[in-house]
Structure 1
Amino acid sequence: MSSIRLLVSLAAIHDMKIEQLDVANAYLNGTLEEKVFMRPPTNLANILESIIQKRGLSNVVGEKATRMLEDFRDGKQICHLQKSLYDLRQSGRSWHMMLDKVLRKLGAIPTNADPCVYCVGRGEDATMVVIYVDDILIMPRDSNRIKQFREKLCKEFEVKKLGNVGYCLGVEFEVEKSKITMHQRRYILDLLKRFGMENCNPISTPMDPQTKLVKPTTAEEVKNFPYRELIGGLTYLAITTRPDISHAVSSLGQFNNCHGKVHWTAANRVLRYLRCTLNYGLVYTNCPDPVRGYADADWANCAIDRRSYTG
């Protein structure tokens, strides 16, 4: 996500278009290096018979289906996989290796900082490509490069052309001239609905400074709340487009294995804050000012172990 945010900021500065592509059935394109065997799928005989009827015996596919059906009826109950399938342990790696091979063939070179960010060309001819499993974002300095790169990629895979980026990885993009906004209004609404907080009373701060989060002292304090599920959803939001809840989520995340009602109430307060700030997000513009960073240490403010947290 940090790579995507960085490239979006560059796109805003240089007035670059961002186009989104999606590879259909991506994992099925992977090539297996190991020998992998599997039991025949349910209703394999019926499926093969249907293929034979549609393709006929003179067709190559029909001939293969006929041989498979004969083997299956002769008692051969094991299949040797030729291609990667979903749910294999190595399917993600196989797909990435295949995509990386194709991108390199097209002249794309992965960056040293992030192997999922590629660069094609240099200077005014540079095109940035960022991949997230099967989602691909293309950002060219010259808009004519998008069509060329897209056509080459379509020759290798079945690619869905989604046009200018609008919604990707739970993030909504709004692109104007020299201004790009990233927000997660839809994601927040889904999160509020999942935890029954869509009609909650909004509040203007994510944490109550008077609340001190400590480990529960008795077994009665520990309740069966879906606490970790909520913290996981909030964490993705914090690291993507909502750094304003980062401190609250970091503090709450320390109690994933030892939470009680106080922690659950504090986590729900973050949801109430999000209800109040649905339209908040990151806005990137062509700003000449340099980037400034700020850091702060709280000097052993943690009441549990007296450690200092920077932020």
Structure 2
Amino acid sequence: MDWPLKQFDVKNAFLHGNLEEEVYMDFPPGYSNGENTGVCRLCKSLYGLKQSPRAWFGRFTQVMRKNGYCQSHSDHTLFVKRRQNKVTTLIIYVDDMIITGNDADEMSKLQGNLTVEFEMKDLGDLKYFLGVEVARSSKGIFLSQHKYVLDLLKETGMLGCKPVETPIVEKHHLCLDPKQEFVYKGRYHTLVERLIYLAHTRPDIAYAKNGHLRIEGFTDADWAGDVTDRRSTSGYFTFFGGNLVTWRSKKQKLVSRSSAEAEYRGMAQGICKILWLRKLLLGIGFKPKDTMKLFCDNKLARDIADNPVQHDRTKHVEV
């Protein structure tokens, strides 16, 4: 729809938060007036304080509501305002925000109002956000994580490594080793977290402009896939307008007694996601015209979904 994408940053965001609790702190190292210094009572939030993120976001939410914006129930970091059949949206991550919509006057007004409340920095058109590079042309918007990937390879010393399509043996079942020696997990956890973020935000498999706005979900599960505790892993991915927008793979909390039960639990997760997606779209003014579809390749799981009174198969399944 050719909406503009503007990016803004709030300087010293956490210093704008108002504390509701009584919080005290020691004096900084090196400070002394020759006597017992005691402690300081904070009037506003500081960096390093556990309450600071909540205090800052609470203050920002109050300002947005004062300007007539509604906070989305589907995503609390999304604020929406409708005016004369036009819409303006703002989404914020800590102190970085993106403003878009089809109401140019309201976008300009919002920028001015936020500048009055906070010390704002106008970053212009959206170029780089949370590791994603954004380039715009007459044909559309191009998203890339080239820089993020190169930085990750550089930090891990793998810039010179050759790419491999399958870096591990397929269907290689891993399990816990009871004689496992202690290893430092910090760097490993950090690397895995960055790889997970890369996998959840990669735009190279999403293509825009398919001529429709249908919501479709696909679910699958492997039965008793974990060789240690025999819990199943279920996964889902959803499409909006033919674009892959959300996906997840997670081990189930309980042991499933059959492949149908494992698939049925996976369908429940998929249903929750497409309902959330529809609610989010309704919040910004897009009402899906077609019925949402959920696809599953297990006939028995589909039969149970159509007829939940098959008590012999489902009486032990939690709500």
In which range does the TM-score fall when normalised by the shorter chain? 0.5 to 0.7
Determine which structure has the larger strand proportion and give its number: 2
Give the one of 183, 187, 191 matched to 2:148: 187
Alpha-carbon shift at residue 181 of structure 1 (Å): 3.1
Partner amino acid, structure 1, of 2:218: Y
For residue 300 of structure 1, give the secondary structure of its aligned residue in structure 2: coil
Q: Distance in 2 between matches of 1:154 and 1:207?
A: 51
1:160 corresponding residue in structure 2:
121
Counterpart check, 1:108 vs 2:69: yes
Give the one of 30, 49, 66 matched to 2:17: 30
Alpha-carbon shift at residue 147 of structure 1 (Å): 1.6
1:80 corresponding residue in structure 2:
41
**TM-score, length basis structure 2:** 0.66
Identity within the alignment, %: 37
Counterpart check, 1:40 vs 2:27: yes
Partner amino acid, structure 2, of 1:188: V
Q: Equivalences for 1:116-265 in 2 at 5 Å? A: 116-122=77-83, 124-177=85-138, 179-205=140-166, 207-209=168-170, 211-216=172-177, 218-219=179-180, 224=184, 226-241=187-202
CA offsets 1:94-146 (integer angstroms, 9 cap, x no match): 10111011111111110111111110115742101111111111011133332
Deviates more, 1:102-111 or 1:229-238: 229-238
1:288 corresponding residue in structure 2:
212
Deviates more, 1:99-108 or 1:164-173: 164-173
Alpha-carbon shift at residue 206 of structure 1 (Å): 5.3
Cα distance change of structure 1 residues 131 and 292 upon mapping to structure 2, 3 Å threshold: same
Q: Distance in 1 between matches of 2:168 and 2:214?
A: 31
Give the one of 51, 66, 76 matched to 1:90: 51
Q: Equivalences for 1:272-283 in 2 at 5 Å? A: 280=204, 282-283=206-207
Cα distance change of structure 1 residues 286 and 125 upon mapping to structure 2, 3 Å threshold: farther
Give the one of 209, 224, 232 matched to 1:300: 224
Alpha-carbon shift at residue 212 of structure 1 (Å): 2.9
Determine which structure has the larger helix proportion and give its number: 1
**TM-score, length basis structure 1:** 0.67
Partner amino acid, structure 1, of 2:161: C
1:310 corresponding residue in structure 2:
234
Q: Give 5+ residue unaligned stretches, structure 1.
A: 1-13, 46-71, 243-279
For residue 121 of structure 1, give the secondary structure of its aligned residue in structure 2: strand
Please say if residues 126 and 141 of structure 1, whose CA atoms lie closer than 8 Å, have aligned partners that are also in contact. Answer: yes
Alpha-carbon shift at residue 167 of structure 1 (Å): 0.8
For residue 284 of structure 1, give the secondary structure of its aligned residue in structure 2: coil
Q: Distance in 1 between matches of 2:56 and 2:207?
A: 33
Q: What's the RMSD between the two structures over aligned residues?
A: 2.5
Alpha-carbon shift at residue 154 of structure 1 (Å): 0.4
Partner amino acid, structure 2, of 1:290: R
Partner amino acid, structure 1, of 2:219: A
Partner amino acid, structure 2, of 1:36: V
Please say if residues 181 and 283 of structure 1, whose CA atoms lie closer than 8 Å, have aligned partners that are also in contact. Answer: no
Q: Distance in 2 between matches of 1:210 and 1:101?
A: 51
Q: Distance in 2 between matches of 1:100 and 1:289?
A: 30
